């Protein structure tokens, strides 16, 4: 049987990405449809989450599915030593699809290989976050009118930030120029720079973050320094506030610039930026609902045509 799991965005073609964006657009027009009536969606969160879990659960609820799951593995039998494989096998008995966030890189791939139902990777360690990427792409498309030929600045924790790793891979289809702004300790890992070279993705690297550096940005993608991934907390303390975006830095930026952030933010975007029309991170999180409705439907075998036909009922 075809494995419809969404483990990494790298597996999606350009056509597939554009197709999912079309589907997200349909859901934005009308989020409430009972197209998943009778389905059960399991959300297994072995790591904390606000947006990803709640937007997946909202997506499922608005589509008429039912939701089971947990937000704290300590209250499950994994705290008694049950393996990930056994947990996945058990939940597959109850649900049609599993949305899983796990702290181990590769956990989603492993789950997709052992599960009889499809897996959606809701973030695996510092590796990938493909559903976040779909909402990021949807946000970029909505604000820029295109995904092609954009100047995209990725700022902050490029080492542990799984959202920037996924975004970079998805953008290979759209001829971007990436600008990586990170301190030495949090630079984009070598494997992703090799990926850029192999896929002819242009990139530049900087350690300075100031008005001049970002003057020609179309997208400024800020990220949080991920405290939970550091083994040395002294190192975290050294780099945690290294870049802070302030409103006055935006004065001479392009009119089409939009500021994205996967959230949560800690200190890297000052609150005075929130009122700037170029700040788009809260709308970006809202777009997560529509993007995740599209993902749930696609993984469960519902087509764009099914969605359009359903709207006529």
Answer positive or negative: Cα dihedral of 287, 256, 208, 191: positive
- Catalytic residue among 12, 39, 43, 52, which? 52
* Interacting residue with ligand CP among 118, 130, 176, 262 (CB under 6 A): 262
Q: Is 12 a catalytic residue?
A: no
In the complex, least distance from residue 222 CB atom to ligand CP, rounded to whole angstroms = 12
Residue 286 found at the interface with ligand CP (CB under 6 A): no
Residue 50 found at the interface with ligand CP (CB under 6 A): yes
Nearer to ligand CP, 20 or 302 (CB): 20
In the complex, least distance from residue 274 CB atom to ligand CP, rounded to whole angstroms = 17
Q: Is 178 within 8 Å of 232 (Cβ atoms)?
A: no
* Interacting residue with ligand CP among 132, 226, 284, 287 (CB under 6 A): 132
In the complex, least distance from residue 107 CB atom to ligand CP, rounded to whole angstroms = 15
146 is in an annotated binding site: no
Residue 43 found at the interface with ligand CP (CB under 6 A): no
Residue span binding ligand CP (CB under 6 A) among the ranges 44-52, 201-209, 219-227, 245-253: 44-52
Residue span binding ligand CP (CB under 6 A) among the ranges 113-121, 235-243, 262-270, 296-304: 262-270
Nearer to ligand CP, 24 or 249 (CB): 24
Q: Is 53 a catalytic residue?
A: no
Could you tell me which residues come within 8 angstroms of residue 198 by beta carbon, excluding any fewer than 6 positions away?
none
Q: Is 51 a catalytic residue?
A: yes
* Interacting residue with ligand CP among 5, 43, 52, 127 (CB under 6 A): 52
Could you tell me which residues come within 8 angstroms of residue 234 by beta carbon, excluding any fewer than 6 positions away?
none
101 is in an annotated binding site: yes
In the complex, least distance from residue 255 CB atom to ligand CP, rounded to whole angstroms = 27
- Catalytic residue among 33, 39, 102, 129, which? 129
252 is in an annotated binding site: no
Token pair 């971007």 is found at 176
Residue 263 found at the interface with ligand CP (CB under 6 A): yes
In the complex, least distance from residue 138 CB atom to ligand CP, rounded to whole angstroms = 14
Residue 118 found at the interface with ligand CP (CB under 6 A): no
Q: Is 224 within 8 Å of 125 (Cβ atoms)?
A: no
* Interacting residue with ligand CP among 51, 102, 179, 240 (CB under 6 A): 51
The set of catalytic residues is: 51-52, 80, 101, 129
Site residues (CB under 6 A) for ligand CP? 49-52, 123, 132, 262-264
């Amino acid at each position: 049987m075809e494995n419809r799991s969404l483990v990494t965005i790298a597996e999606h073609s350009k056509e597939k990405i554009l197709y999912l964006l079309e589907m997200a657009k349909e859901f934005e027009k009308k989020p409430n449809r009972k197209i998943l009536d009778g389905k059960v969606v399991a959300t297994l969160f072995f790591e904390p989450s606000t947006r990803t879990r709640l937007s997946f659960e909202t997506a499922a609820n608005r589509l008429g599915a039912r939701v089971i799951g947990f937000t704290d593995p300590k209250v499950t039998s994994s705290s008694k030593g049950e393996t990930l494989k056994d947990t996945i096998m058990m939940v597959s008995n109850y649900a049609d699809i599993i949305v899983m966030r796990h702290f181990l890189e590769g956990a989603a791939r492993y789950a997709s290989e052992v599960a009889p139902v499809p897996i959606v990777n809701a973030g695996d360690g510092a590796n990938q976050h493909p559903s976040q990427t779909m909402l990021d792409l949807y946000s970029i498309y909505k604000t820029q009118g295109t995904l092609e030929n954009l100047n995209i600045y990725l700022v902050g924790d490029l080492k542990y930030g799984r959202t920037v790793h996924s975004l970079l891979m998805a953008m290979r289809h759209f001829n971007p120029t990436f600008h990586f702004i990170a301190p030495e300790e949090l630079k984009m890992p070598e494997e992703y720079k090799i990926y850029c070279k192999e896929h002819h993705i242009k990139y530049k690297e900087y350690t300075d973050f100031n008005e001049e550096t970002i003057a020609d940005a179309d997208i400024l993608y800020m990220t949080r320094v991920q405290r939970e991934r550091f083994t040395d907390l002294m190192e975290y303390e050294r780099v945690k506030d290294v870049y802070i975006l302030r409103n006055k830095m935006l004065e001479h930026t392009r009119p089409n610039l939009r500021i994205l952030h996967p959230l949560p933010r800690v200190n890297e975007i000052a609150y005075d930026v929130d009122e700037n029309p170029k700040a788009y991170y809260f709308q970006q999180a809202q777009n997560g609902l529509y993007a995740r409705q599209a993902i749930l439907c696609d993984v469960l075998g519902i087509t764009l045509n099914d969605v359009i036909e359903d709207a006529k009922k």
